[in-house]
Structure 1
């Protein structure tokens, strides 16, 4: 099929920053794109060929949108899988597949998937409702501390909470959930695996993630991870096992824990371009967004090697500020060598909302980390 300067249409469900960055690549190749998002002012609106507003969880909206395109992908997991399933049965190519997405959408099902495929993950307990946790604590089938995770609709730190006392359970939604044992880990790592529709597979280097202590959001992504080569090879091997188990097409970001004794435990996955791969826009031969496009169209996969060390700093809304966004001191970081800001196009800021990111490239990863700290302390997302 001719994808370039042709009648081919690529559909993208979700019009946020991931879709916007994917559109950089479709515009480079002159691929016609249709995007649907519930927000009329979604970041994707300015860069696609057709933009439609619609509820991503509504069967009819997703189904009718999908019938307009030749290949359908998504930049967010919270979409109507039943509609995707029907579209796939009717001949629309949906990547990753509805079957893959259905498992990944639910954290309880995702964890059981790892158990079934003998992939190491943190010990967990599944609950139909959060209210059942009190009984489990009373019966000592689980113990403090643990991590509570909503089974569905959690993202960017939402739907996740560390529970140390009974009072920490107060106010949590009474929904299907899991509790995970607290893992004393050395590092949180991630590996992005690309798999195209012809079965070709490639992995990006292992990255190290540093998280905000209260928001549970990634603050820094460091590539390459500052870990032993043997541990990095183990992480890539496990990521490939996870990819093979899902048989996905597109990108799969595999998030992992490196334990104190250097075991690797899979935390969770995302079947799309991911925050842990944003460094690749400046640092890799083939960035993750171009790679996702290549994969879902069955094109040859690109070189995943890094040209240079890269660090990504998330730009999130400062606490105490809600309203029209202002990127304070952005000119100061633009004076720094190897620093590139990416602004997502969201007009309103609020505490911890992802508003952009900054990449820092340097041959010396230690120097890049120093600059990243300076960037984080300089630029402020306020209103």
Structure 2
């Protein structure tokens, strides 16, 4: 099929920043795009060929949108899977598949998938409701500390809490959840695996992630990860095992823990372009967004090697500010060597909302990390 300057139509469910960055690549290739998103001010709105406003979890909305396109993909997991299954039966190509999404959407099912496929992951318990956790603690089947995770709709640090005492359970929503054993890890790592329709696979280098201690959001992504070659190889092999188990098409970001004993445990996955791959826009021969397009259209996969060391800094709304966004000290960071800001197009800021990111490239990853720290301490996302 001819995808370029043709009647072919690619649909994207979700119109946020990941979709916007996918559209950089579709515009480069002149691929016709349609986007569905519930928001009037979705970042994708200005860059796609056709924009539709609608609920991503509504069956009819997703189904009717999907009938307009030849290939349908996502930039967010929380979409109506029943509609995707019906579209697949009617011949629409959906990547990732409805089957893959149904497993990944629910963290409990996702964890059981790892157990069933002999993929190393942290020990956990499943609960139909949060209120059952206290009973499990009282009976000795669960011990403090642990990580509470809502099985559905968790995103960017939401739906996750470290529980050390009974008081930490107060105020948690009474929903289906898991309690995961706290892992004393050295590093949080990630590997992005690309797989095209024909089954050809490529992996990106292992990256290291540094998280904000309160918001549980990634603050820095460092590529390559500052780990030894043996650990890096182990992480990539486990990521490939996860990819093979899901038999996914497109990108699969595999987040992992490196334990104190250098074991690799899978935390969770995302079947789409991911925060851990943003460095690739400036740092890689083929960035993750172009690679996703190549994979779902069954084009040859691009080279995943890095051209240079890369670090990504997340730009999130400062605490205490809400309203029309102002990026303070933007000019100062743009004077720094190897610094490129990416602004997502969200006009309203609030505490910890993802508003953009900055990439820093440098031949010396340690120097890049120093510059990244300066960037983080200089630019502020505030409001008028």
Question: TM-score, normalised on structure 1?
Answer: 1.00
Q: Which residue of 2 aligns with 1:320?
A: 320
User: How far does the alpha carbon of each residue in 1:80-112 deviate from its partner, in whole angstroms, 9 at most, with x for none?
Assistant: 000000000100000010000000000000000
- Structure 1 segment 353-364 matched on structure 2, within 5 A: 353-364=353-364
Question: Deviation string for 1:178-216 (max 9, x for gaps)?
Answer: 000000000000000000000000000000000000000
Match of 1:17 in 2: 17
Task: Determine the structure 2 residue equivalent to 1:291.
Answer: 291
1:50 aligns with 2:57: no
C-alpha distance in 2, partners of 1:107/1:219?
23
CA-CA distance at 1:70 after TM superposition? 0.2
Give the corresponding residue for 2:187: 187
Which residue in 2 is equivalent to 1:176? Answer: 176
Q: How does 1:110-189 map to 2 (within 5 A)?
A: 110-189=110-189
Structure 1 ranges of 4+ moved more than 6 A: none
Query: How far apart in 1 are the matches of 2:315 and 2:363?
Result: 23
SS at match of 1:167: helix
* Alpha-carbon distance in 2 for matches of 1:34, 1:85: 19
* 1:311 match: secondary structure: strand
Unaligned runs of at least 5 residues, structure 2? none
Deviation at 1:248, TM superposition (A): 0.2
Q: Does 2:322 align with 1:307?
A: no
Aligned pairs, number: 383
Q: C-alpha distance in 1, partners of 2:163/2:263? A: 24
Question: CA offset at residue 177 of structure 1?
Answer: 0.2
Deviation per residue, 1:52-76 (Å, 9 max, x gap): 0000000000000000000000000
Aligned-partner SS, 2:173: coil
How far off its partner does 1:168 sit?
Answer: 0.5
Provide the rounded CA distance (Å) in 2 between the counterparts of 1:339 and 1:237: 32
- What is aligned with 2:37? 37
Cross-structure match for 1:108: 108
SS at match of 1:33: strand
Matched position secondary structure for 2:119: coil
- In the alignment, structure 1 residue 62 sits paired with structure 2 residue 62: yes
Distance in 1 (alpha carbons) for counterparts of 2:325 and 2:166 = 38
Distance in 1 (CA, whole Å) between partners of 2:75 and 2:140 is: 40
| Aligned residue in 1 for 2:345 | 345
| Cα deviation, residue 144, structure 1 | 0.5
Q: CA deviation at 1:157?
A: 0.2
SS in 1 for 2:91: coil
Q: Which residue of 1 aligns with 2:372?
A: 372
Q: Which residue of 2 aligns with 1:217?
A: 217
Cα distance in 2 for partners of 1:329, 1:48 equals 30
- Given the two structures, how large is their TM-score scaled by the length of structure 2? 1.00
1:245 counterpart residue number: 245
Partner of 1:26: 26
Q: CA deviation at 1:19?
A: 0.1
Q: Distance in 2 between matches of 1:284 and 1:360?
A: 12
In 2, Cα distance between equivalents of 1:316 and 1:164: 27
Q: Which runs of 5+ in 1 are unaligned?
A: none
- Distance in 1 between the 2:116 and 2:110 partners? 10
Question: 1:333 maps to which residue?
Answer: 333
